[in-house]
Amino acid sequence: MKFNINKWTLGLAAVGAVSMASAVRADDAPKLSPLQTALSSTIISGYVDVAAQYNPGDQKGGATTPVTTFGQGGMVDGFSLNSVNIALDKALDESPWAAGYHIELNAGQDAINGVSFLPSGSWSGADGGIGVRQAYVALRTPVGNGIDWKIGAFDGITGYEANTGYANPNYSRSYGYAVNPASEVGLLGTYKISDEVSVMLGIANRASGFTPSPSVGSSKDYIAAVSFTAPDKAGFLKGSTLNFGTVQTFDNGGVNNYSVNATLATPITGFKVGVSYDKVQNLQYEGGDGNIFGVYATLQATDKLSYNLRGEYVDGKNLGFFYVGSGNNGKGEEITATVEYDLWANVVTRAEFRWDHTETGNGYNSGFNESTYLLALNVVYKF
């Protein structure tokens, strides 16, 4: 449920007018202040994301934290407050010189701090404190079909999965999500060429890279993306999407990201498949490139019930320390199965099983070729 501050303002003004009508003349009645006027079309929304998880197996001392827990603060066997998210929005209207804003604050073990100089992906967290995930001014310039601008901190644009956890098919994050910048601080322009094609171009402070530091603080990320949406005349493929995106650093202090992903409708009602490919070009380490391949399948059985399956394969030198155990030749795979049944209004409830395996490097139990397992229950209330 979303709240419109305009309704609260008008309601309070009406109560005040009735109670003071006998004592105040009409021309002396209180008027809206500039602040109230500015807030009149602001929308409040958000969510609370909590979970419980169990990691079967022998948890040996000194073992590498299993990657299945990233995004949950490295927690093993326990309860987690993943994220409390509150957003304020004034969306762009249809006018040629429209203006608005978006502010998104979050806290918890999975919180993202978009304005701090921290590594990308799930390591951009606010360490349990309050983080500014997004805060930007939205502007439109009437060039052609209109260019929509974001100036400030905004979510990253590459990768298959989004920062909002419940919007993804699965509860736990993918390896592909981990290697893409979670957020950027800069300028991003979006131009809709047609109903089927749109492009994005931007420049931002350095966010990509495994271990950014102030020494590269003046370096920039150069962002580009193009997306295609299948039109109505595409038959059963109607609404399918194909996206290309990249983040380029153009120096040897960061990481270049390349992302290709698609979500395809099928002739089977409620059944969709997805594919993703993420390439990481690690310029900080010689030969530190990585390739991550992902496949998704979703069956929306009823309005409340859905089944989601994900499989990934990771092949990348020097990705191992960050994403697949602690070896320098990170190779591994994961399979995740998720059942979502939304029994309560505005509530997402999911049960998930995940299996991870490291082919090279140290795994969860400080041994080679190890497997890790995850059982999780995720509950999200959206308002």
**Per-residue pLDDT, 241:** 97
Cα separation, 210 vs 318, in Å, equals 10
Name the DSSP class of 250: -
In the chain the domains, ranked by start, together with CATH numbers, are 1-41 (no CATH), 42-382 (2.40.160.10)
| pTM (two decimals) | 0.82
| 257, amino acid identity | N
CB 323 within 8 A of CB 356: no
Quickly state the pLDDT bin for 224 (edges 50, 70, 90): very high
- pLDDT of residue 330 exceeding 50, the answer is yes
Q: What SS3 class is residue 130?
A: strand
pLDDT category at 290 given cuts 50, 70, 90 is confident
Whether 8 has a pLDDT exceeding 70, the answer reads no
What is the spatial distance between Cα 13 and Cα 9, in angstroms, rounded to a whole number? 6
- Residue 102 near residue 87, CB atoms below 8 Å: yes
Q: How far is CA 179 from CA 203, 260, 372, in A?
A: 19, 13, 20
CA angle 216–219–224, rounded 5-degree value: 135
164, 178, 183: which is closest to 210 by C-alpha? 178
DSSP 326: T
Read off the pLDDT band of 300 (50, 70, 90): very high
Neighbour count for residue 374 (Cβ, 10 Å): 23
List, in order, residues 6 or more apart from 307 with CB less than 8 Å away: 298, 299, 301, 337, 338, 339, 340
Using alpha carbons only, how large is the chain's radius of gyration in Å? 23
Nearest CA-CA partner of 374 in 22, 23, 78? 78
Whether 81 and 50 have beta carbons less than 8 Å apart is answered as yes
Confidence at residue 207, expressed as pLDDT on a 0 to 100 scale = 72
What is the number of residues in the chain? 383
From the centroid of its chain, how far is CA 355? 22
For every residue of 132-172, DSSP letters joined together read EEEEEEEEEE-STT-EEEEEEEEE---SSS-SSGGGSSSSS
Q: How confident is the model at residue 148 (pLDDT cuts 50, 70, 90)?
A: very high
- Region 267-296 average pLDDT: 88
Residue 359 has pLDDT above 50, yes or no: yes
- Backbone φ and ψ of 247, nearest 5°: -125, 120
pLDDT in tens, 30-87: 455 555 666 678 999 999 999 998 888 655 544 444 444 444 444 567 888 999 999 9
